[in-house]
Amino acid sequence: MIKDAIYSAADAFLSRRLSVGTQMGTKAIAGALQAKLRQRAFFSAKVGEARIVAALRELSDAYSSGRIGRAEARSRLKEFLEQEPGAAELPRLAKTARLNLILDQNARMAAAVGRWQVAMDKDVMERFPYWRYIAGPKPRDSHKVLDGLILRKDDPFWASHFPPWEFNCDCDLEEVDEEEAAAAAGEAAPRGPAMSEPKSGFEFNPADAFDEKLEVDPDLPDDLRRKIEEAMRGAA
C-alpha cells in the first residue's frame, strides 16, 4: 500500500511537469529560473525544439514509471532523432552518458517526491519523525560528509539537501524513530562549514512539487518566457 502511494505521487509529479525547449545551458537556466519553476519544468540543456523535448520527456517518464529500461529508451530516442528534421545538430543527446543522466535524474526526482509525500503523512511522521542521510556508493566529498546525519523531517536543511540534491546524486534517506535518533545523538555528522550548498545550479525540494503558485519572471529572455507561459497554459 505504501509503495502504491509512492508510485501514485511520483506519477502525479511527472504528469504535471512543464515541457520547455531552450537553447540555454544548464547554468544559464539555473541563473534565469527560480528553483520552484525549474524543478517543475522538464528541459534538456541546449535542446530548443519542442518536438524533441516532448519525445525526450515521453521516454523519460516511461523510464521513471518502470515501463521501459535504459536500452529501450536509448534505442527509441536514436530512432526518433534519425527521422527528426534539425536533430542532426544534437548528436550528443542520444549518447549513453547524457541520456543516462537525464533518465536517472528525473527518475530519482519522481521517486523522491513520492517518498516525501508518504513520509510527511501525519501518522508516519508520528512514528518516524527523523531522516538519516545515507551517502551513495560513490559520493562527492560534499555528500559523503553528510553520511549518518540525523535531522527531523521538518528541518529546513532538507529543503536544499533532499536526495537528489545535485546532478548524478544517488544518495538516499532512511526514516528514523525517536528512540533510534536519541541513541545516535552525538554520533551523526556535525552540521557546519563542511556541508556545502549545491553549486551546479540544480536545486530540488520535493515539498514544492505540487505548489500551484508558480510565477514567471518578467525579466526572462522573451523566447524562454513565452515557452514557459505556453507550457503553463497547456497544463492548466
Contact of 105 with 167, CB cutoff 8 Å: yes
**Residue 171 confidence (pLDDT):** 94
For strand 130-134 and strand 150-152, is the pairing parallel, antiparallel, or unpaired? antiparallel
pLDDT band for position 188 (50/70/90)?
very low
Residue where the block lists cell 521517486: 111
Q: Which range, 33-37, 166-170, 183-187, is most confident?
A: 166-170
Is 169 strand, coil or helix?
coil
Q: Where are the domains of the chain?
A: 2-235
Closest C-alpha to 195, from 139, 120, 129, 142: 142
Above 90 in pLDDT, residue 68?
yes
Question: What are the two backbone dihedrals, phi and then psi, of residue 152, each rounded to the nearest 5 degrees?
Answer: -60, 150
CB atoms within 10 A of CB 200: 13
Q: Answer for the pair 5, 105: CB distance below 8 angstroms, yes or no.
A: no
Q: What is the pLDDT of residues 160-173, one digit of tens each?
A: 899 999 888 999 99
